[in-house]
């Protein structure tokens, strides 16, 4: 079943005649990565896609007349569309009104005449097709090789902003959007969980975090570099963070409620001797067409599914472990594995989890 067929089947279940998509993430999901935005930081596109439940009605792409030529020429759609334009100086509501007359409508953005469908659309897009999984694996490999190559070249004296610039340049060259770049050197690693890069120069250690998007899919990873012998306190934190991460992956099982996973997560910290450390920062969650589709909390609804991606990020003071993985019928597959980086292989029951270690120079 194609994603368009899946969406139309869902419209039947939701008792809706049509759904209107305007968010970049939902559009990227349905169109296999097409881009309809202009401003990079905008959550919304400059186009809208109307999908009818009626299989004989072509999806309608509505966009300003100054934008539509590029969409037609350059954005390859996985299904046939009807193209409707409106003058760039108008908002398109008149054209929409004609298309939506007497219809029960859902929308991924707030509209007075439509039901809010974003929670259900997020659930719908969370289970990844085989083609999406292949694109995801390619993105994971490319993003990881970028970060690990830069980390292997970092030297004392490099500033956080120089590292940021290297990450941006390498990502853009491979068609990857660096949607989240966090870099901290030395004591900033201990102080801040989301360290925006500064002119701070690296002395003994550095943490590089990348959230990367391509074709709408997102991966997240963290790599740590230390120059010289790792102090004993930091070394224990490094080992514990990786062990906790392995426990997270062992607990990532299809059908498990997120409320139960949260309990398992707290138990993992307790076993490592850091019972309250989870309180210092969120621990990640399911990913896919957003950096995190949800941050798992004690009250998160829903359950883990097979063919779903996750980015967990356990951490302790001075240490963090973060990868993006895919849960399949045969187990957990790490998507953020590069070509040449030290890894720790952790055994849990019958499973092996290879997780990035620190690069010690």
Kindly report, residue by residue over 15-66, the tens digit of the pLDDT.
999 999 999 999 999 999 999 999 999 999 999 999 999 999 999 999 999 9
Mark whether 93 and 145 lie in a shared domain. Answer: no
Model pLDDT, residue 15: 98
Mark whether 108 and 150 lie in a shared domain. Answer: no
Q: What's the rounded Cα separation, in Å, for the pair 69 and 144?
A: 35
- How many Cα neighbours within 13 Å face the side chain of 55? 7
Mark whether 149 and 285 lie in a shared domain. Answer: yes
**pLDDT tens-digit series, residues 149-202:** 999 999 999 999 999 999 999 999 999 999 999 999 999 999 999 999 999 999
Mark whether 173 and 95 lie in a shared domain. Answer: no
Mark whether 140 and 61 lie in a shared domain. Answer: no
pTM of the model: 0.96
Q: Which structural domain, as residue segments, surrounds residue 98?
A: 3-125
Where do the H-state alpha helices sit in 217-310? 232-251, 258-271
Q: What's the rounded Cα separation, in Å, for the pair 287 and 217?
A: 8
Confidence at 249, pLDDT banded by 50, 70, 90: very high
Model pLDDT, residue 339: 84
DSSP string, 330-353: TEEEES---SS--EEEEEETTEEE
Q: What is the CATH number of the domain that holds 119?
A: 3.40.350.10
Percent of the chain surpassing pLDDT 90 = 99
Mark which of 125, 154, 180 sits at the end of a domain: 125
| Overall number of domains in the chain | 2
**pLDDT tens-digit series, residues 111-134:** 999 999 999 999 999 999 999 999
Q: What is the mean pLDDT of residues 205-230?
A: 99
């Amino acid at each position: 079943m194609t994603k368009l067929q899946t969406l139309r089947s869902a419209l039947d279940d939701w008792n809706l005649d049509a759904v209107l998509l305007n968010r970049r993430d939902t559009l990227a999901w349905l169109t296999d990565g097409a881009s309809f935005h202009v401003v990079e930081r905008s959550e919304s596109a400059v186009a809208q896609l109307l999908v009818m439940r009626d299989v004989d009605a072509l999806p309608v792409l509505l966009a300003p007349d100054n934008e539509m030529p590029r969409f037609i020429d350059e954005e390859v759609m996985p299904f046939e569309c009807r193209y409707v334009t409106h003058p760039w100086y108008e908002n398109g509501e008149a054209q929409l009104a004609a298309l939506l007359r007497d219809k029960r409508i859902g929308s991924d953005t707030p509209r007075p005449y439509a039901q809010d469908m974003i929670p259900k659309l997020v659930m719908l897009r969370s289970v990844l097709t085989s083609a999406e999984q292949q694109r995801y694996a390619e993105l994971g490999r490319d993003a990881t090789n970028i970060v690990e190559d830069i980390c292997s070249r970092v030297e004392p004296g490099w500033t956080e902003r120089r590292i940021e610039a290297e990450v941006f340049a390498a990502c853009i060259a491979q068609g990857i959007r660096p949607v989240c770049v966090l870099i901290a050197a030395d004591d900033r690693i201990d102080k801040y969980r989301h360290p925006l890069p500064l002119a701070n120069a690296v002395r003994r250690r550095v943490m590089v975090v990348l959230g990367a998007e391509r074709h709408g899919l997102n991966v997240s990873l963290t790599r740590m570099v230390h120059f010289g012998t790792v102090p004993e306190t930091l070394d224990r934190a490094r080992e514990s963070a990786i062990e906790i991460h392995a426990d997270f992956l062992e607990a990532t099982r299809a059908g498990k409620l997120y409320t139960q996973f949260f309990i398992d997560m707290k138990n993992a910290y307790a076993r490592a001797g850091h019972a309250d450390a989870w309180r210092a920062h969120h621990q990640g969650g399911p990913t896919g067409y957003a950096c995190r589709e949800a941050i798992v909390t004690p009250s998160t609804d829903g359950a883990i599914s097979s063919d779903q991606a996750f980015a967990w990020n356990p951490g302790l003071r001075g240490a963090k472990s973060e990868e993006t993985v895919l849960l399949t019928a045969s187990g957990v597959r790490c998507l953020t594995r590069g070509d040449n980086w030290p890894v720790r292989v952790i055994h849990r029951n019958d499973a092996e989890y290879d997780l990035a270690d620190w690069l010690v120079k």
